[in-house]
Structure 1
């Protein structure tokens, strides 16, 4: 069955044009505010600088808002082809691991295998665990629990385990080695992370869709975050479940045939991957040189360059992952993504890439330099107040905030309204959409979902300056040549004590305090306006600690709270069974577990 692609292409062109036009117009309007209100006293260098900075910042915010609006209006999807008869292709589920808890990882595999068997689809689906674990003790545990997995699932001949001696190229290199050495045995590969879980029905549906579309090389799902326990983790889990489907629908509308790849919870056509996705080693030393860290976006671009279709199907349910439980773990993961995205600067002029792939690279880079642009805008605003003649502002003015010199108040009001509109309004519109469509029922009903949306908005606003500080430090470290490496993810409880929070966030406190002192001395009229940025920074350790504490069971409700997905129930059942009886593996079982 042929994949319909003309409607997809036409729809994508219109969505891209609309999103680009809307974001540029919003950015231009924001920049003009500073030009218009600065014209009365003449437009100076600082006015031009601030207009440029606010144009860039507003463009980034407006692009996100445009994506959300497209998601709200993109109700009709092009028809999706899928085979309805027997599945003929063979599929391997790839699970890369790196110093993970093997008991939990292999329990996930057992749950997914049982879920696939329960579909009675007759599809040949195997599993390959690709270990890059550096810790020998953990590696021995991996062998033990893999043998346990084989015994439970009768997996001999269809479940494999391999540990590399050298983790060249990290996860991307691990998968590349596997595809090169063993990939010809299968037609498709479902690529997961160690914390991924997918329903058997979802995996089978992905196989049916890729088998029906000969030009489809990669099909990405939208994973839902599960397992959140802390205030930070629950807030991220709620935002991912409530807002992300709308944003993903808008993203799918703009990216079309040149869709995203997020590195996991996706299915790929092995022949297309083998022909197209050999990653280069970038010239020079890390952090900009060496192996590509954010490899997923590059692999999607290489597939598109070769003429293959890369698609995000946001309608697929039953795809799950875990998220970080505290700000520190989030910042560690974000540091790796920062270095990887900034590496893409070396790929912008790579030959043959699709224009949209280059645009996606620019977006990824801009996502990390945007905080520096905001900081530069704040610095330029302080300079504009400090270096101009500051008349006494008028006490008789009936205004609750200080009036800026040279009639700067309209600029500040316009900026505040613009930021509110571009950051807050899309989420409120998503909330209204969820109420009218009935989707809010799974998130606590109308009242519960609205409370959760407002609480998440308040929490994200408070911790935004802290995240901006971590992100800005990451960018500066990369620009200064510091390689962040690839630290393992913390899949544990995530709770922090106050000493750990102080050690991780004290530099942000000092930075916020120093900033407020400087503002008070140089431009006291800005003190109250910049307090929402400086105050969270000054109490950063307290916020880091508080958000890592366990949340109330009723905070940030999600559908998984009331109706546990079958795959999560299967996973919990496997863990419970293994807690009762854990026999040691025999030498024969361990030998059979190794992938040749």
Structure 2
């Protein structure tokens, strides 16, 4: 008997996974309508008079856009019919429609918040928790994340469900797509510790894929095909997700009562921010976010959207309709669908299932990237995923609101280069009016002269109106908070809330032109065919050296300097009009450094600025997460004999080694695909005189490959330490 078999025989078996319960998940054809199995195109959970709500929001946006276009035409009318004038007017109409829809939707959200709406489906905010009749799987996908940090939130969710008395209705799955072999073995060890501490044998499971095909969407699809048949619902999470057990029970119960509902999306609130940037993000999400979410939930109705996490999904509906195809062509537009969540929601709605959002319930949380640099990296990937939707938006059978979701997602990134073009053409049209020789009466003689100049007074009114529409949601959120004692008290009172909104608006306004250029460069990069890849998100404190910041942001300062020179060359008044944009670009380097500062963020917190209610009065679920995080920090501070390197960890723990070996895939069969990393890795292990020598020559891919085979593990154990 070899070493692995001997150790495995001495350790009691541990159930990493339950019995298979396969569920078919066919790949969808976007060119033909799907089979709906007799479901009505209008789900029974559709709110009454939903068409009237949509008419009010979209119709209001159309009216505002038309008014803005009329006023902007008056600004440019003295220029006559010119190419530049038409371009500027067209850009203004597109951008005006974008901000007008945001305004009218926020106005609807303001009314919904004041009326304490945002629920539906018979969900109650308070009162006894309902009993559950079905089983739900809680899915936590992870990709090269710190496993101890991931399990802080997952254990908090588990303990919160225990307190509800409904834990028996849930199984928990940690679904790993990790490619780093050291992180993989740490995941296994952390999982074993977690199960032992909470006595979760038989209801908490761990699975790692050898090949992370199609990333997160492929991870979930593999789970559905293998285990989905045993669960009526699945709760999808992100690695930083935390959800209150009572909230989970209420929305799962709603799924049980409404058989035609495929998905219920909660409103995740950003928490845990320490840097100035993260604290601004969480403040904006907590104060403005509910208003925006209430608005879109009010007029989306049963055609809601999916944000990829913190949502309960009917497993059968997901399997039946959400099998994602690969898009034709090469990356970045072809291949696997990156922003899969919007598409999955659209496909389930296409199949006759209802998609709902319930922003009226709190208890759903996530974290924010700590710095502008980290957001830029994440947004580059999101930008590519949303632009891919251009190949999907015209798919057969999609509901028009689902198409609108995709167009809004595309617009979130396309509007940045459009704003940039608007600014550039604005400078050009000012140059034209400044330097062109005037033709007072045109080619045909008329009684009244034609003055070829932009009307500065009318331009001022248009600017004021545009800013009012842009900033109105923040003002509405402040007014709504005045009627909510919990939110008002949690944000430090009316005065500090007002100061926080002003501070966030000021810094956010300075950052906006930088973000505009970041998004514009991302769009340009994707249009040039560059793939963003997929990396683990940074969840640390965001500290970056000033040298790195200067290297990454000098280009924005240089661009701002060129724009300032162009504006100054036209007129001092144009330079003053563009000051908000120019100042933000000129200060790009210090702004990036300031907002990434943990010290500045915590200093503002000490003055009760950018405060959110979850910091003032910690909810029970976050208290559990905080306690778990403190235990993790104490554990990290203490001397730890457990090695962090994979080979050493397996050699040091018989239990970990035995359980690792029990989860290994079946040996390769003759004729199946050959893994070059495995062949080279095994050869290097055979030739290495010791473990340190082996580690010195193995690549990360080879190391992961040998850890996936019994032969590789035997060779590792046989090497001298």
Q: Is 2:382 aligned against 1:337?
A: yes
Correspondence list, 1:150-549, <5 A: 150-390=195-435, 406-438=453-485, 439-521=487-569, 525-549=573-597
Q: Max radius of gyration: which structure?
A: 2
Change (3 A) 1:299 1:391: closer
Structure 1, 518-527 or 552-561: larger mean CA deviation: 518-527
Per the TM alignment, residue 525 of structure 1 is displaced from its structure 2 partner at its CA by 4.8
Q: Is 2:573 aligned against 1:558?
A: no
Are 2:109 and 2:298, in contact at CA under 8 Å, matched by a contact in 1?
A: yes
Per the TM alignment, residue 114 of structure 1 is displaced from its structure 2 partner at its CA by 1.2
Are 1:20 and 1:63, in contact at CA under 8 Å, matched by a contact in 2?
A: yes
Per the TM alignment, residue 20 of structure 1 is displaced from its structure 2 partner at its CA by 1.1
**Residue number in structure 1 paired with 2:622:** 568
Name the CA distance, whole Å, in 1 between partners of 2:290 and 2:413. 23
Name the CA distance, whole Å, in 2 between partners of 1:94 and 1:32. 51
Change (3 A) 1:523 1:482: farther
Are 2:72 and 2:459, in contact at CA under 8 Å, matched by a contact in 1?
A: no
Per the TM alignment, residue 67 of structure 1 is displaced from its structure 2 partner at its CA by 1.2
**Residue number in structure 2 paired with 1:401:** none
Per the TM alignment, residue 193 of structure 1 is displaced from its structure 2 partner at its CA by 0.1
**Residue number in structure 1 paired with 2:674:** none
TM-score normalised to structure 2 length: 0.77
Counting matched residue pairs gives 583
Name the CA distance, whole Å, in 2 between partners of 1:336 and 1:77. 30
Name the CA distance, whole Å, in 2 between partners of 1:199 and 1:591. 35
Per the TM alignment, residue 80 of structure 1 is displaced from its structure 2 partner at its CA by 2.6
Are 2:45 and 2:354, in contact at CA under 8 Å, matched by a contact in 1?
A: no
Name the CA distance, whole Å, in 2 between partners of 1:333 and 1:148. 32
Name the CA distance, whole Å, in 1 between partners of 2:387 and 2:138. 30
Per the TM alignment, residue 322 of structure 1 is displaced from its structure 2 partner at its CA by 0.3
1:388 counterpart SS class: helix
**Residue number in structure 2 paired with 1:80:** 121
Name the CA distance, whole Å, in 1 between partners of 2:662 and 2:198. 14
**Residue number in structure 2 paired with 1:141:** 186
Are 2:553 and 2:589, in contact at CA under 8 Å, matched by a contact in 1?
A: yes
Are 2:252 and 2:312, in contact at CA under 8 Å, matched by a contact in 1?
A: yes
Change (3 A) 1:120 1:507: same
Are 1:187 and 1:270, in contact at CA under 8 Å, matched by a contact in 2?
A: yes
Q: Deviations over 1:83-126 (max 9, x none)?
A: 97531111111001011111111122122111111111364211
Change (3 A) 1:428 1:593: farther
Are 1:147 and 1:590, in contact at CA under 8 Å, matched by a contact in 2?
A: no
1:434 counterpart SS class: helix
Name the CA distance, whole Å, in 1 between partners of 2:198 and 2:663. 13
Change (3 A) 1:566 1:594: farther
Are 1:82 and 1:210, in contact at CA under 8 Å, matched by a contact in 2?
A: no
Structure 1, 251-260 or 516-525: larger mean CA deviation: 516-525
**Residue number in structure 2 paired with 1:400:** none
Indicate which of 74, 82, 85 corresponds to 1:47: 85
Per the TM alignment, residue 561 of structure 1 is displaced from its structure 2 partner at its CA by 1.6
Name the CA distance, whole Å, in 1 between partners of 2:120 and 2:141. 33
Per the TM alignment, residue 391 of structure 1 is displaced from its structure 2 partner at its CA by 9.1
TM-score normalised to structure 1 length: 0.93
Change (3 A) 1:349 1:595: same
Structure 1, 311-320 or 528-537: larger mean CA deviation: 528-537
Indicate which of 108, 118, 141 corresponds to 2:153: 108
1:118 counterpart SS class: helix
**Residue number in structure 2 paired with 1:36:** 74
Structure 1, 26-35 or 447-456: larger mean CA deviation: 26-35
Are 2:327 and 2:335, in contact at CA under 8 Å, matched by a contact in 1?
A: yes
Q: Deviations over 1:192-233 (max 9, x none)?
A: 000000111111112111111111110000011100011111
1:152 counterpart SS class: helix
Name the CA distance, whole Å, in 2 between partners of 1:82 and 1:324. 32
Change (3 A) 1:573 1:592: farther
Question: Where in structure 1 are there 5+ consecutive unaligned residues?
Answer: 393-403
2:359 counterpart SS class: coil
Are 1:112 and 1:200, in contact at CA under 8 Å, matched by a contact in 2?
A: yes
Q: Deviations over 1:432-466 (max 9, x none)?
A: 12113333222111111111111111111111111
1:10 counterpart SS class: coil
Change (3 A) 1:463 1:405: farther
